[in-house]
Structure 1
Amino acid sequence: MSSPAVDDALRHAASTPFWLDDPGRPDPEPALRGNSTAELVVVGGGFTGLWTALRAKERDPDRNVLLLEGAWTGWAASGRNGGFVSASLTHGRSNGELHLPDEVDRLDELGLANLDALGKSVAQYGWVCDYERTGGLSVATEPYQVDELRGQDGFLDTAAVRDQVNSPTYLAGVWTPEDTALVNPARLVWELKRTCLDLGVRIAENTPVRAIRSNRSGVSVQTTSGTVRARRVALATNVFPALLRRYRLHTIPVYDYALVTEPLSTAQLAEIGWQNRQGIDDLGNRFHYYRLTADDRILFGGFDAVYHYGRSLSSEHDQNPESFRTLASHFQQTFPQLEGLGFTHAWGGAIDTCTRFFPFFGTAHDGRVAHVAGYTGLGVGMTRFAADVLLDLLAADEQGPTELTELELVRRTPVPFPPEPLAWAGVEATTLSLAHADRHEGQRNVWLRALDRFGLGFDS
């Protein structure tokens, strides 16, 4: 899907994720040297791990908390995503109704409360992370999608939606002002890290964890440079192979891609409107997400979700020229009035997905180790909620069950993916079927209907 205009727009795009291309990035904390002890060890220095460490210290300021990160905080999904903070805990209301119909109303309430609490943390700690509660705008770009939106609260007809954001591709939309915030995700990671350190969390970066073992006295966390003996362990490795073997088939990594434009001029902003700065997504199965940054660039991502055979994770997958050209072409179709606008950054990264498309939880080693994974791109907001779930699970032997640990969302584990070559074949069949549905007014073929029947479908 290349053209001279697309190639020219991408000509000077850097491969570094836009958010991480920041001179304000903090230096990493020293690696662990030798053996250590802690009451709580958190494995993983992305959003989940940092929120877990922070919430642990907020609950008990005297708790000895050690966070171990294999590289540096925020280098992976937490620092390279789109920066959408969703209130949803289930990847959308309709997906929640599909998987947890008896619980979806309460989960919607808990999700909004979680987003409120995240915003309060930003204010309480004075985090400088470009946090904006703008709401979300879902747009129909095909006639059949208009009926999906009609009748919903916040419905906008063609004229009304284009008055919000002026794209000739928009046929209708729904604006939900309270359920979405925007943030600079890398800066949020770094502010979380700063506050954790201020509260007394010990952080060791460049300290990969190789194994978890337990005995009567506690849990042994084996790193490349020593062993940490802990009372409790929270695992927040997400897309990376699970340290608990029982969960290694429950997720697969898929690669998502994004572009960021040059800053828009005042005249260009006037051409497209967007005065309310909502985060936007469209209704295709292979959907796009896009938003304004603090300096009025447009981040435009999504559509492709690429799986590599064997659950392959590699920095080589972060660059995908074909996906970048596709996104650039779609951007130019969405905003033809921005002709000539170039892209300054083009990057990708791995997302951990599971068969229900929102996170699942588990415990091991007699409840002394808790695990979460499967965010499927939902991690910026959901990770704070997940941190509270992990801490409640780890305290269950002393404090008993809580509302969070009794949720079906927490107690139920999704169906695992099959081993290869079945996983690759299944992903390929699903990708082709979703593309076919988008070309045929959303009609789901036999394969997609079979997935729906067995509770493996996705509807967001």
Structure 2
Amino acid sequence: MDEALTATGAQAPRRPYRDVSLWLDQVAEQGDDLAPRPPLAGDLVVDVCIVGGGLTGLWTAHYLLEAHPDIRIAILEKEIAGFGASGRNGGWCSALFPASAAALERRHGVDAAVAMRRAMIDTVDEVGRAAEQLGIDCDFVKGGTVAFARSAAQERLARAELDEAQRFGTDPLVTIDPARFGADGARSAVFDPSCARLQPAKLVRGLARSVEARGATIYEGTAAIDFAANRVTTAHGTVHADAVVLALEAYSATLPKTHRRLLPLYSLMIATEPLPAAVWDEIGIEHGQTFGDYRHLLIYGQRTADDRIAFGGRGARYHYASAVRDDYDRVPRVFEHLRQALRELLPATRDARVTHTWGGPIGVPRDWHATVSFNRSTGVGFAGGYVGDGLSTTNLAGRTMADLVTGRRSELTRLPWVGHDSGRWEPEPLRFLGANLGVSAMALADAEERVTGRPSLAAAAVRPLTGH
């Protein structure tokens, strides 16, 4: 293991980045040593300074370089590229947007809602196309999502989703026979073809190498301390740029000026050992497919390229003052909940050994509506608020931000999320009380529906606050 010298000359072990997630562990196993790139070494002048080395920042750099190969780009990353949600997520490259089509219609009108939905659907294919063009093998297979309805209340939610898709005419959702799958208690199932399974760390690490090879410079171990018009301040120097792009997602909460813009809410995951073919025959999920159900306390899973199940969900609490710490990534109670939820949903996994557990914060805007914006007078842009639906949305954000920064008017810059202001989260302790009440309400809603068999009153009360 490479080591770095401390200020006293002693050797300090490198941070074990491969322990962050299954995905980073796999890329390390395949030869990526995850060694941090050199930090910023003094003041710098560039055309564009991107704060955050995740998918939003890297896709922005990619599309800027596509349009202007000579553009000077600096990317500042506190840890390593892909350290945050981009290297930890569930691997769903989906057309999901945190605000529903109905909510978008209420805010922006039906034409804008349809345009947003179509842009998200097209983005799934764009991720696959761009990855193939760049030679990034990220296990991209567009197999769609299977969502199981396992109670009468869940069936009502499934029918509402089908009705909404038909009304807007954008999402080609269909019902399929749940008997094809080994999902316990499944009464019906909905299939959405607009989703691909991929290995997120392979994508983000490959994209970092690609933009670097084309001239962008990634400074790792370089945390932004503050930003202002055309300027980003770090402990290693100040970067002056015509455009500053903030692409920190949940880590926006670590900067004073964006502290209340996005709430860092933790989502956790587990992964099983590779499962034998006989077990997969019983489960029925195919390669490239993702899966979940219609419970309120969200779960999500995928069949990985090496035949594991990567399975995640909500349930971890929000931490006071939007704190983000490594030890919040691992909550034994939530990991056990995920183990039980997986075995309950897919009984064929009951003997499967869990080999990896991990988690991390996602960024939640006050109205659950993602945004991309650029203020030409200050030269500062912001993108984020994906609420866990970022694996594809980051690509759309990167394409849109590239157009905004370069002043190009396009169909993307006319989408309704451009310039959207979600407002700020309440000060503490209201933020702490409200966020954790919402998490508890979702768990209560699932329990309520199991007991009553009717749609949850708790869920109905919270739905307007969660982008629906």
- The TM-score normalised by the length of structure 2 is 0.86
The Cα shift of 1:415 comes to 3.2
Amino acid at match of 1:78: S
* Greater Cα shift, 423-432 or 32-41: 423-432
Whole-angstrom distance in 1 between the partners of 2:393 and 2:402: 14
Amino acid at match of 2:260: L
The Cα shift of 1:212 comes to 1.8
Which residue pairs with 1:161 in the alignment?
178
Does 1:21 find its partner at 2:32?
no
Whole-angstrom distance in 1 between the partners of 2:362 and 2:77: 18
Which residue pairs with 1:44 in the alignment?
52
Alpha-carbon contact 1:212-1:243 (below 8 Å) kept: no
Does 1:444 find its partner at 2:457?
yes
Amino acid at match of 1:194: R
Deviation readout 1:199-229 (Å, 9 max, x if unpaired): 1111111111112233xxxx22222111222
Whole-angstrom distance in 2 between the partners of 1:415 and 1:360: 11
The within-5 A match list for 1:27-176 is 27-97=35-105, 99-102=107-110, 103-150=112-159, 152=162, 154-156=173-175, 160-163=177-180, 165-176=181-192
* Greater Cα shift, 202-211 or 365-374: 365-374
The Cα shift of 1:40 comes to 1.0
Whole-angstrom distance in 2 between the partners of 1:213 and 1:150: 48
The Cα shift of 1:161 comes to 1.6
Distance 1:371 1:242, change over 3 A: farther
Distance 1:413 1:302, change over 3 A: same
Amino acid at match of 1:75: F
The Cα shift of 1:247 comes to 3.8
The number of aligned residues is: 431
Alpha-carbon contact 1:131-1:182 (below 8 Å) kept: yes
Amino acid at match of 1:55: Y
Alpha-carbon contact 2:196-2:288 (below 8 Å) kept: no
The Cα shift of 1:94 comes to 4.7
Amino acid at match of 2:206: E
The Cα shift of 1:155 comes to 4.0
Whole-angstrom distance in 1 between the partners of 2:43 and 2:362: 32
Match of 2:411 among 400, 403, 420: 403
- The TM-score normalised by the length of structure 1 is 0.87
**3-state SS, counterpart of residue 351 of structure 1:** strand
Amino acid at match of 1:407: L
Amino acid at match of 2:357: A
Distance 1:263 1:92, change over 3 A: farther
In the alignment, structure 1 segments of 5+ residues that lack a partner are 1-13
Deviation readout 1:88-117 (Å, 9 max, x if unpaired): 344554554455443211111111222222
Which residue pairs with 2:167 in the alignment?
none
Alpha-carbon contact 2:123-2:396 (below 8 Å) kept: yes
Alpha-carbon contact 2:374-2:419 (below 8 Å) kept: no
The Cα shift of 1:443 comes to 2.5
* CA RMSD of superposed structures (Å): 2.3
Alpha-carbon contact 1:211-1:243 (below 8 Å) kept: no
Query: Percent identity over the alignment?
Result: 30
Distance 1:185 1:343, change over 3 A: same
Alpha-carbon contact 2:115-2:415 (below 8 Å) kept: no
The Cα shift of 1:280 comes to 0.8
**3-state SS, counterpart of residue 302 of structure 2:** strand
* Greater Cα shift, 332-341 or 93-102: 93-102
Distance 1:282 1:93, change over 3 A: farther
Distance 1:222 1:338, change over 3 A: closer
**3-state SS, counterpart of residue 433 of structure 1:** helix
Which residue pairs with 2:7 in the alignment?
none
Deviation readout 1:308-359 (Å, 9 max, x if unpaired): 1111110010110000111111111122233321100011111111123241
The Cα shift of 1:72 comes to 0.6
Distance 1:15 1:39, change over 3 A: closer
Distance 1:261 1:175, change over 3 A: same
Alpha-carbon contact 2:369-2:422 (below 8 Å) kept: no
Which residue pairs with 1:7 in the alignment?
none
Which residue pairs with 2:328 in the alignment?
317
Distance 1:76 1:424, change over 3 A: same
Alpha-carbon contact 2:95-2:124 (below 8 Å) kept: yes
The Cα shift of 1:64 comes to 1.1
